[in-house]
Structure 1
């Protein structure tokens, strides 16, 4: 490489352009992006089961990687993405813009089983460590904001998803059993048994089975579990 050549403002990962960011694309995350190992299990799962034209509900938008991948490589009709961390919203939009993605409806909100008041969310110097838990490293908090809640039933009625992609750090055990998922064709869920325990894992499986979806081992690996209708 010519040392005089300007450095690219992007990382490349699975054919996507990921904007460099001094507080986000660092350390292990940068290495995982460059090696195409970032969210590998989820990426492998959606590659197996998501089809062109699907309508996706994404719970946990993260850095915008999955919604971009779904739009660019799976050519889904639409993604509606919910991300609680307000500090990530501008970055997610920059990832979408870098890849020409225009079919993602992004919400800075929490889905909840019932209506309720906004929830305090604590933004930290390490943006990826921000959370609703104030007590974990309170000295690193730079600001606290109120994140609105939206009832799950309302979101499902508006989106009418055929695919669910869910990574919400343990909230799956309470949220997913509260929804009517019978309209889904596929669900890809990252479980967090270290927080939700066996009862929480069982609650997620039961919720999917009530919706008429069966566990699909060919697109499941470790904590990433896939459910599919009619296979």
Structure 2
């Protein structure tokens, strides 16, 4: 459902699964608006997160996108904190607006990339379809709109600082290269969106091996196609 602007938004507002979303034309493509209107945007990820995240949890999210998942979780669960990392600098202001519009105060947004270790800023390729923006300069039929230099932080340093209970990851194929470097055993659950069209069978195996090394087991009942869940054995807290 679309509506008029609110005091917290310069744009008309639409509603999806209880979340208010500003219809900023710079971000909200017709395809995205339709997915939100039909409650289908990131539905598999959101459904898995509802099963994995409990009140009092700290959540670390890689690939925050428009801020829908973090906003939804902060409204549905009394989380301690959500730290969301998004490489696309054009989406940071939109995330802030989403959180303010929904009166969410437990989410901290970081414009940064995570890598095996802290390094020099890295080129991030922004495309007209922001969902296809990535570290790769070549994605077929999707020309680059701009190239941004983004801060690079160390994966394990961030995990040690944040100390997450639940990890959510949707980073457009970079999961296969990044996650094998994870050395953190404090997770209770993880939700990973795989991109087998880019990482292939070897990359999928690398993600599974990384999660198993972190003490988590694949849990098919909470998984849905490319969105896969891992968790520690019961009892959970």
Alpha-carbon distance between aligned partners in 1 of 2:140 and 2:196, rounded to the nearest angstrom: 23
Q: How many residues align?
A: 226
Deviation at residue 132 of structure 1 after TM alignment: 3.2
Deviation at residue 43 of structure 1 after TM alignment: 1.0
Deviation at residue 201 of structure 1 after TM alignment: 0.8
Of the structure 1 ranges 221-230 and 123-132, higher mean CA displacement relative to structure 2 is found in 123-132
Aligned counterpart in structure 2 of residue 85 of structure 1, from 80, 84, 88: 88
Contact 1:56 1:79 in 2 (8 A): yes
Contact 1:181 1:208 in 2 (8 A): no
Aligned to 2:202: 199
| CA offsets 1:122-144 (integer angstroms, 9 cap, x no match) | 33455444433334489954543
**Are 2:37 and 1:30 equivalent residues in the alignment?**
no
Aligned to 2:57: 54
Aligned counterpart in structure 1 of residue 45 of structure 2, from 32, 42, 47: 42
Aligned to 1:180: 183
Alpha-carbon distance between aligned partners in 1 of 2:187 and 2:34, rounded to the nearest angstrom: 34
Instruction: Supply the RMSD in Å over aligned alpha carbons.
Output: 1.9
Deviation at residue 102 of structure 1 after TM alignment: 1.2
Alpha-carbon distance between aligned partners in 2 of 1:139 and 1:61, rounded to the nearest angstrom: 21
Aligned counterpart in structure 2 of residue 155 of structure 1, from 154, 158, 161: 158
Aligned counterpart in structure 2 of residue 218 of structure 1, from 217, 221, 233: 221
Aligned to 1:3: none
Alpha-carbon distance between aligned partners in 2 of 1:140 and 1:203, rounded to the nearest angstrom: 29
Alpha-carbon distance between aligned partners in 1 of 2:14 and 2:111, rounded to the nearest angstrom: 25
Unaligned runs of 5+ residues in structure 1 are 1-5
Alpha-carbon distance between aligned partners in 1 of 2:140 and 2:227, rounded to the nearest angstrom: 28
Aligned to 1:166: 169
| CA offsets 1:150-186 (integer angstroms, 9 cap, x no match) | 0111101110000000000111111111012310001
Deviation at residue 31 of structure 1 after TM alignment: 0.8
For 1:118, what is the secondary structure of its paired residue? strand
